[in-house]
Chains A and B, each alone.
Chain A
Amino acid sequence: EAGVVQSPRYKIIEKKQPVAFWCNPISGHNTLYWYRQNLGQGPELLIRYENEEAVDDSQLPKDRFSAERLKGVDSTLKIQPAELGDSAVYLCASSLDPSRGPSYNEQFFGPGTRLTVL
């Protein structure tokens, strides 16, 4: 079974430029998460989707960040314009159907996209 796929794995941009990250969750997983991980810290949730609906975006900096999950499958996270402080690893995760209990709630993470803003 294929895991969570993310691309690109690495991205280097200059500040004020736009950038986008793509995530393909595990097939059949209805819940998708975007996390940001700063150097030396644990990941922090940015946004969570249940199917195509964003149900928790309280930690997403909406002035410059946007996300979408078309058709409830793939998702894209965008930053425009990027700032120096956005340098981090952006992780995507998915879970099968958390409403059904602990056996369906495990989150599977992709390898992440390491963003460097110069």
Chain B
Amino acid sequence: DAKTTQPPSMDCAEGRAANLPCNHSTISGNEYVYWYRQIHSQGPQYIIHGLKNNETNEMASLIITEDRKSSTLILPHATLRDTAVYYCIVRVAQGAQKLVFGQGTRLTINP
């Protein structure tokens, strides 16, 4: 079973920041938080991952709470192309662990 809980759907206006929450209250000390997204008719795409510090890359920012029991993925200026299902996954970073996907959050960016 997935170790994360996400809202099933969210809406966001184009150009605004999209903030996607994820709860992972049973995360272990050696597990990272990974985010993937899946655009319609495509395979999942890696976005970002982090352990305990906030992370930022060209796609998004990841904010992890101090107790590591929850996190938020931030898309700073959402575009229509960001409409997708977003998956929050916890896993150890080393070794070929399978990705355990939950239901994800279906994010719709509205014009």
Which residues of A come within 8 Å of B, CB atoms? 4, 31, 33, 35, 41-45, 48, 50, 55-56, 91, 93, 95, 98-102, 105-112
Contact = CB atoms under 8 A, between A and B. Distances in A.
B101 A55 contact: no
B32 A33 contact: no
Contacts of B41: 111
Contact of B49 (A48, A102, A111): A102
Given A42-B87, A98-B95, A101-B93, 13 more contacts: A41-B103, A42-B102, A43-B101, A48-B96, A91-B44, A93-B43, A93-B44, A100-B94, A102-B32, A102-B94, A105-B94, A105-B95, A109-B43
A55 B103 contact: no
Interface residues of B, number: 21
A109 B47 CA distance: 12
Contacts of A41: 101, 103
13 contacts: A41-B101, A42-B2, A42-B87, A42-B104, A44-B101, A91-B43, A95-B96, A101-B94, A105-B95, A105-B96, A108-B46, A109-B42, A112-B43
Nearest to B43: A109
Nearest to A41: B103
Q: Which residue of B49, B96, B99 has the most chain A CB atoms within 10 A of its CB atom?
A: B96
A45 B98 CA distance: 7
Nearest to A114: B41
Contact of B45 (A35, A42, A102, A109): A109
